[in-house]
Structure formats: C-alpha cells, structure tokens
A and B are shown apart, each in its own frame.
Chain A
Amino acid sequence: MAPLLEAISIGKTYPGGTVANDGVNLSIEAGEVHAVVGENGAGKSTLMKILFGIEQPDRGELRLDGKPVSFANPREAIDNGIGMVFQHFSLVPSFSVYENVVLGSEPRTGIKFDRQKAIEEVRALSEKFRLAVDPLPPVGQLPVGQQQRVEILKALYRNARILILDEPTAVLAPQEVEELFVAVRALVAQGRTVIFIAHKLPEVLAISDRITVMRAGKTVGSVNAKEVTEQSLATMMVGREIALRVDRAKGRGDLACEVKALKLTAESGAPIAEDLNLKVHQGEILGLVGVEGNGQAELLEAIAGLRAIADGVVYLNGEKLNPLSTLERRELGLASIPEDRIARGLATGATIAENLVATRLADKRYVRNGLLDLKAIKAQALKLIERYSIRAGGPGYPVGTLSGGNMQKVVVARELSEQPKLLLVNQPTRGVDLGATQFIWKSLTEARDGGAAVLLSSADLSELLALSDRLVVFYRGKIVAAFVNSDDLTAETLGTYMLGLSRQDPETMRAALQ
C-alpha cells in the first residue's frame, strides 16, 4: 500500500540563493506520529511550508494517497485534508473559542452566522478528540496550552486527516506537554496522522512512532523511534558527536549580587513579585525556575534597570543599584542577555558590527570625539565573529538576515566580549539549534569561570538543570523552593513546586538560599 503522504526529492531554493531543501524525501504512513527533527536551518520549516502549500517546491513531487498533488496555497492543502498548527498561533484574541475554530468556514442559515450550530460542533469535536476546551470564553484569556488546543480543533474542524504540529512543545510547561501528548495519541487512535516538528529529543522519542532526521537541507534518514537513543539521534542531526554536558563550577567566590526584600508591581499597580531575597556569588550560576509569568523575567528586568523597583534593594558588590540607570549599571559590570533577542537584544536593521558595539558607545576605543571609529568597530566585529563562530556574510550584514542561532550568538558575543561581574540571562537558547546551544552553554560557563555571578532563567528545565549550581523556584511572584543542584534533582521535582503543588519548609529553603 502506498504511504498516505509522500515527498519525493523536494528541492527549494529561496530568491536570496539559500538552498533550504535539496533532495528531501519524506514518507508518512497513515495513523502514525511522525517526527521531523533537525537543527535550525536544516530545512524542516521549509518542507512543512511546502506540504501546507505556503511555499511551492522548485523540484520534486508530493503524493497524497499515491497520487501526485500540488498545493498553490494553504486553502488547497486544507481542502485535501492537511492541517497545520504554527508555533505562533493564528487566533483572534477577542473572539471566542468557537468563533476562532469556525472562522472562514462558518455554519450558516441564509446569510446569518449560525452560532448555536458552531458551538455544538466545537463541543462535539473537543469531546471526540479529548481536547477539553470551553467553546465560549475569548481565546485571549486562555492559557497557551489551551490556545494550542483551539488551533488543533481548527484544523480538525476542517477535516484534517494529516495534522502538522510545528514545534508544539516549545511554548508549553512540562505538565501541559503531557496533556498535548494525550491529545496526540487520541488523534492517532481515531485514525488521524500527526507530523511533529521538534527540537527536544526526549519528547520526540516519547511521542513518535517514526523519526525523519534532516540536516543542511537534506534528509539524513528515517528511523523507528524504538530503535534509537537520544545520543544516536543527536549525532544524526548534527553529523558529529556532541556532548550536551557542562562542568559545574569548581567553587564559588565572594558574594557578588544581593537582592533584598524586592517588590515589583505592574503598571496598573498589581503586584508581580514580592519579598524576593537572593544571593549570587562570583563564579556560580543561579537558576531561576518557574512557569513563564511567575516573576522570573521581571526580576531580571528589574536588576538590569528595565523595570521600576517598587520596594527593596539590589546590591552589586556592595553598591546599591536602585538609583542607577541601565547604562550606569552596565558600567559597573552588569551584562544582560534578554529573553527576546529581536525585540530587546538587537537592532535587526543595523549591521552585525553596529550591534556588537551598541552597548559601548562611551568607550574611547570605538568612539572618539563623538565620532564612530569605523575601523576599530570593524576589527572588533571580525574578532568576535571569529571567536563566537557566527555564521554570517561579514560584519556589514544586517543582523536580521541571520538565523536565530546566529542572532543569539551576536547577543552573547556582545555581552560576554568583556568579562561581566553580573550576568543576567533569560532564555539563552530558545529557538536555537543544538550546535549553537552547545556553544552558548560553553560561553556561559566560561563567563562563570571568569568570575561572573550568573542569574539564569529558562523555560527549558533540562537547560537549567545542566547549567545551574543552585536553583530557586518561583510561583506567583514568590520564591517557594531553593535547591543546591545535584544529579538527584529531577525536572519532575521542580515541576511540582513550579505548579504550586508542594511547598518547601523554610529551613531547607534558607539553607539553599545562602
């Protein structure tokens, strides 16, 4: 029997000359969960866009049920029973769940939108596929995990037989990932087929039946999930052995940064975080654990000077940071790798060289008599591009033309080019491929060994567990647990504190907070 969906030697070259797909083969059987893995820039997204009709292949052929097909636009793919859930949801925030699900294919009576029927159909779908969502509230008020279910329902409402999920777990907390997997299994049990794009190998191994690995625009091969290990998959993806392990700090130095009774409020006056007490020593990484939105990101912003402090004090090497501006704090040796590299970390329209010196415009080496020393700036850029192996055309290229991993390397290069005393890091490897992740981790530990006190926040628990020397858990703006990292500490333990399911007794917490 022919496979349900087949892509045969697909080739796609973008107008800029980037070869995104070069002889890609993919074969999806009906009723399986098929994962497509690969580093960023390996061509997974392009392949999915071709399957969904957003892009057209230059070469090769798509076959559905053994018959050649081509999709000029997503509409045609949808009509052929293919649905896609993007990483960035396409939902109208103020519309209710059912309005979002039926948008574009509404049930009608005459010219009237039949709301009752829409609600019933959405209810029936969500029961059938065990995707529990209330059809009535506005989507904007739902947590991310539920919004994702709405997206899946949207595809199912259009009778998708094949569902493409583009990095679905990237935005979810561990418990939500479990729920998603339950839904995926329910889908497959009812005869649907799921294509699952992912980075995180443990998840891929947990959910998929077969795995296709891509590297540099080509398919490396397809394997059965049962027959591979995380390590062998990683090797296939990167093409060489990689070790995602880092050495812990050898020992910590003096107290560098202290946060005392810190309180943060939103613009509306609502409290975000209260009574935060932390100590970070030279040469250690303190991991901030928590589901996003529990105050970790805001703490980092407040220390960096990007957010007002409502009450409490932050000290860096004995100096009070509160009254200082962001720039003055940087002069004291503070460096910051922000969560959103595009919005806050970089000026995407400016060149790599300009971005690399953007925080040093008071520095005599790059600015003399109020004028930029272009030669020195270029020399510095060349040096950093080399040292951080940033893959780019040259220092004069706009940062926006780089891949996510290389953009992040530009941020890291800028912040770490001079040894910081206090380093704030938020989501250092979000949307970054394995090779770059490995490199960024190494850079962070080097900064640590150079004597920096590091505050690290990440949505990726394995990253926190790999890098941190100590960890504190945030829940609803408070620190609810603190741990000294060890091999016994698991993501599950952290998870129960992250969701507020258990509480640590004050003694244990105090001991680990020192």
Chain B
Amino acid sequence: MIELLMTVFSATFFVTVIRTTTPLLFATLGGLISDLSGALNVALEGMMLISALTAVIISVYAPWYVAVLSGICAGAMLGALMAFFHLRLKADIILVGFAVNILATGGTVFALSQATGGDKGTSINLQSKAVPAVNLSFLDAIPVVGPTLRSLLSDHSILSWLALFMVFAVWYFLYRTPYGLWLRGVGEYPAAPEAAGINVTKVRAWSLVASGALAGIGGAQLAMFNYIGFTRDMTAGRGFIALGAVLLGARHPVGAMLAALLFGIFEALAVVMPNLFNWIPGEMIQTIPFVVTVLALILFSYRAQRARQMRTLTKI
C-alpha cells in the first residue's frame, strides 16, 4: 500500500497520467462538440483507431508532424463520411457510428497486414516515428522549485500541450463566438436557429468533421507517443470512455478535461499497479478504468436527478 502511495505521489506518475489523459481528452473534446450540436458521435473509437494506423504508416515515410496531420485528416474525413450518411442520406447516427467502428476494427487489421507484409497484430516491423516530447530543462535554473517543476512539466508530448490549449480554444469557440452559439442552439432546439436563417445541417456536418479531427489527434498521440507503433484494437474502448467523460464533464470543456483526467488517472493506475501487486491478475487491473466509468456515470446521473428535484422544490 505504501509503495502504491509512493508511486502515485511521484512525478513519474504525474507524467504517466498526462500521457494517458491526452488521447482521452482529445476524444472527449471531439465527443463534446458533436454532442452539443445534437449528433451523438459513437464512432470516436473507430475514428481514433483508423487515425492511429494512418499516422503510424505515414510516419514511416514522412516527418512526425505530417503523420499527425494525416491522422487528423483521417478523423475529419470519417466525420465527413458520417455527416454524409446521417445528414444527406438520413441514416440513423448511432448505426452510422457503429458502422464506422466495425469498419475500423476490420479495416485497420487488413490495412496493417498490407502495410507490414502480413503481420496482423502489430506494426513492429515498421520504422514508425514518435511525437517529440517538449524538453523544459531550463526550468532547473529556477531556485528551490526548479527541479520539481521540471520533473512535472518537462518531457510531455507536444500534443499534451496542444490538448490543454484545445480545452481553452473549444471553450472560447463555444461560449465566446457566434458560431459556438449557433452550434449549441442547433443541438438544443434546431427549430430556433433554422427560423433565424442558420443552416442547421451545415452546422451539424462541420461539428462532426471537427469531432473526427479531434479524435484523430487523439489517435495519433496514442500510436506515436503513448505507444510507438500500432497494435490491433489499441484504442481499447477509449472512444466510449470519452463519451462517458462528455456526460460526466457536464457537457462543458473544462468539465470534459476534469473527467478525462479522472479516467486518465485510473488508466495510469492500471499501468503501474501490475508491477506492485503481481498477485492480482493483470486483466482485473485493466478493467479498472471501465468500472470507474460505469460508477462515475451512475453517480453523476443520481446527482443530476437530485439537483433537479431540489430545483423544482425550491421553485414552489
């Protein structure tokens, strides 16, 4: 137990948490945008998976940033594909989302074996690149707190810093720009923006594209920093955890960040615990993030219900 606490309160654990949170946070922000526009994106999982593979394969031939960009494009294109089926051909969004997920599980394995020349499990024999970490060793120069600061803030993926910035950017977009107002209006009561002359379909389509792009960065981070290289089904439910995090974060960007952090912490625990408790089966430990997701959602909906009751009672 003491060992566990020592591990949890170490700088290395903090760095692990940031690493596990980053892909989740991108996916959560993506889920948030499409959810607020009224189109529930259940395909985050598949989008991440396809983007991860795209980024890995491109990184063999091109610099890391081109690979990340290609991951973003892959996600955005899947978002556009969903928009086409859902908004133009009027297919049910949940079914379209699951179609993308199924396409992703099968399609990535197929594409992987084509790219690696037959390996259907991992991209281990591809020379894929990593996203660089940001080195902040100059922080050492600050007296007293310098070394601690450096051990906490240095060596994160450049995309982790981008994720933090995106929380702010998404918040600014949603609550400070007219387009954010449109998007939220479209999600809550489409008849209103429609009557105001706003093209509801267009707003939804763009939010699906943005949602895909964000999930795409998450996928790239996963396969080019958290792990170097692609493994089949490597997203392991992160896309669905992200959907839970959207709700748990009360459909707000900052809430989304906190919820993603919570799940990130438990994922990091699942990473460090097998070394400390070798008598617990590894599979049990790996279920922790999912169990926490379910518990958190139950708690959240219970509290939301209570809050609603309190409100109606005080009104009368």
Binding site for B on A (CB under 8 A): 73-75, 78, 86, 88, 90-95, 99-100, 103-106, 108, 111-113, 154, 266, 268-271
Quick one: given A104-B182, A268-B308, are A113 and B189 in contact (CB under 8 Å)?
no
Docked Cα-Cα span, A104 to B312, in Å, equals 32
Docked Cα-Cα span, A103 to B315, in Å, equals 29
Residues of B within 8 A of A90 (CB): 189, 191-192, 194-196
Residues of B within 8 A of A266 (CB): 312
Q: Is B140 an interface residue (CB 8 A)?
A: no
Inter-chain contact A269/B198, CB cutoff 8 Å: no
Given A104-B182, A104-B198, output 11 extra A-B contacts at Cβ < 8 Å: A78-B197, A90-B191, A90-B194, A91-B192, A92-B184, A92-B189, A92-B192, A112-B176, A112-B177, A113-B181, A270-B316
Inter-chain contact A99/B181, CB cutoff 8 Å: yes
Quick one: given A92-B188, A268-B313, A269-B309, are A103 and B177 in contact (CB under 8 Å)?
no
Q: Is B244 an interface residue (CB 8 A)?
A: no
Inter-chain contact B176/A74, CB cutoff 8 Å: no
Inter-chain contact B188/A104, CB cutoff 8 Å: no
Residues of B within 8 A of A270 (CB): 312-313, 315-316
Closest chain-B Cβ to A213's Cβ sits at a distance in Å of 28
Quick one: given A86-B195, A105-B196, A266-B312, are A94 and B181 in contact (CB under 8 Å)?
no
Q: Is B31 an interface residue (CB 8 A)?
A: no
Residues of B within 8 A of A91 (CB): 189, 192
Chain A at the B interface: SS class: loop
Inter-chain contact A103/B176, CB cutoff 8 Å: no
The contact of A104 among B196, B315, B316, by CB within 8 Å, is: B196
Inter-chain contact B196/A93, CB cutoff 8 Å: no
Q: Is B281 an interface residue (CB 8 A)?
A: no
Inter-chain contact A103/B309, CB cutoff 8 Å: no
Inter-chain contact A103/B189, CB cutoff 8 Å: no
Docked Cα-Cα span, A112 to B177, in Å, equals 5
Inter-chain contact B312/A103, CB cutoff 8 Å: no
Inter-chain contact A100/B309, CB cutoff 8 Å: no
Inter-chain contact A75/B192, CB cutoff 8 Å: no
Q: List 14 A-B contacts (CB under 8 A).
A: A74-B197, A91-B189, A92-B185, A93-B189, A95-B181, A99-B181, A100-B192, A103-B185, A103-B196, A103-B198, A104-B197, A105-B197, A266-B312, A270-B316
Q: Is B193 an interface residue (CB 8 A)?
A: yes
Q: Is B178 an interface residue (CB 8 A)?
A: yes
Question: Beta-carbon contacts of B237-263 to A below 8 Å, as 1s and 0s?
Answer: 000000000000000000000000000
> Which of A78, A103, A106 gathers most chain B CB within 10 Å?
A103
Residues of B within 8 A of A269 (CB): 309, 313
Closest chain-B Cβ to A349's Cβ sits at a distance in Å of 18
Inter-chain contact B177/A111, CB cutoff 8 Å: yes
Interface residues of B in 159-214 (CB under 8 A from A): 176-182, 184-185, 188-189, 191-198
Residues of B within 8 A of A108 (CB): 178
Docked Cα-Cα span, A35 to B196, in Å, equals 25
Size of B's binding interface in residues, CB under 8 A: 25
The contact of A106 among B178, B308, B313, by CB within 8 Å, is: B178
Quick one: given A103-B182, A268-B312, A269-B309, are A93 and B188 in contact (CB under 8 Å)?
yes
Which residue of chain B has its CB nearest to the CB of A271?
B316
Closest chain-B Cβ to A56's Cβ sits at a distance in Å of 17
Residues of A within 8 A of B313 (CB): 268-270
Residues of A within 8 A of B179 (CB): 111
Residues of A within 8 A of B176 (CB): 112-113
Residues of B within 8 A of A75 (CB): 197
Closest chain-A Cβ to B245's Cβ sits at a distance in Å of 21
Interface residues of B in 281-303 (CB under 8 A from A): none
Inter-chain contact B316/A113, CB cutoff 8 Å: no
Residues of B within 8 A of A93 (CB): 188-189
Closest chain-B Cβ to A490's Cβ sits at a distance in Å of 31
Closest chain-B Cβ to A61's Cβ sits at a distance in Å of 24
Residues of A within 8 A of B185 (CB): 92, 95, 103
Closest chain-A Cβ to B170's Cβ sits at a distance in Å of 14
Residues of A within 8 A of B312 (CB): 266, 268, 270
Docked Cα-Cα span, A270 to B182, in Å, equals 35
Docked Cα-Cα span, A269 to B184, in Å, equals 32
Docked Cα-Cα span, A106 to B179, in Å, equals 10
Residues of A within 8 A of B189 (CB): 90-93
Q: For the complex of A and B, list the 6 residue pairs with the smallest distance between their C-beta atoms, beginning with the closest.
A: A104-B196, A90-B195, A75-B197, A106-B178, A268-B312, A90-B192
> Which of A75, A104, A105 gathers most chain B CB within 10 Å?
A104
Closest chain-A Cβ to B72's Cβ sits at a distance in Å of 21
Closest chain-A Cβ to B301's Cβ sits at a distance in Å of 15
Docked Cα-Cα span, A308 to B28, in Å, equals 41
Which residue of chain B has its CB nearest to the CB of A477?
B316
Residues of A within 8 A of B309 (CB): 268-269
Docked Cα-Cα span, A268 to B310, in Å, equals 8
Closest chain-B Cβ to A504's Cβ sits at a distance in Å of 24
Docked Cα-Cα span, A449 to B118, in Å, equals 86
The contact of B181 among A74, A88, A103, A268, by CB within 8 Å, is: A103
Closest chain-B Cβ to A49's Cβ sits at a distance in Å of 12
Which residue of chain A has its CB nearest to the CB of B187?
A92
Residues of B within 8 A of A104 (CB): 182, 193, 196-198
Closest chain-B Cβ to A377's Cβ sits at a distance in Å of 34
Docked Cα-Cα span, A92 to B309, in Å, equals 22
Residues of B within 8 A of A106 (CB): 178, 181
Docked Cα-Cα span, A94 to B192, in Å, equals 12
Residues of B within 8 A of A74 (CB): 195, 197
Residues of A within 8 A of B192 (CB): 90-92, 95, 100, 103
Closest chain-A Cβ to B32's Cβ sits at a distance in Å of 16
Docked Cα-Cα span, A439 to B19, in Å, equals 72
Closest chain-A Cβ to B184's Cβ sits at a distance in Å of 8
Residues of B within 8 A of A111 (CB): 177-179
Closest chain-A Cβ to B169's Cβ sits at a distance in Å of 12
Which residue of chain A has its CB nearest to the CB of B309?
A268
> Which of A95, A268, A269 gathers most chain B CB within 10 Å?
A268
Docked Cα-Cα span, A275 to B190, in Å, equals 42
Residues of A within 8 A of B194 (CB): 90
Which residue of chain B has its CB nearest to the CB of A108?
B178
Residues of B within 8 A of A78 (CB): 197
Residues of B within 8 A of A95 (CB): 181, 184-185, 188, 192
Question: Beta-carbon contacts of B124-165 to A below 8 Å, as 1s and 0s?
Answer: 000000000000000000000000000000000000000000
Closest chain-B Cβ to A112's Cβ sits at a distance in Å of 6
Inter-chain contact B188/A94, CB cutoff 8 Å: yes
Residues of A within 8 A of B198 (CB): 103-104
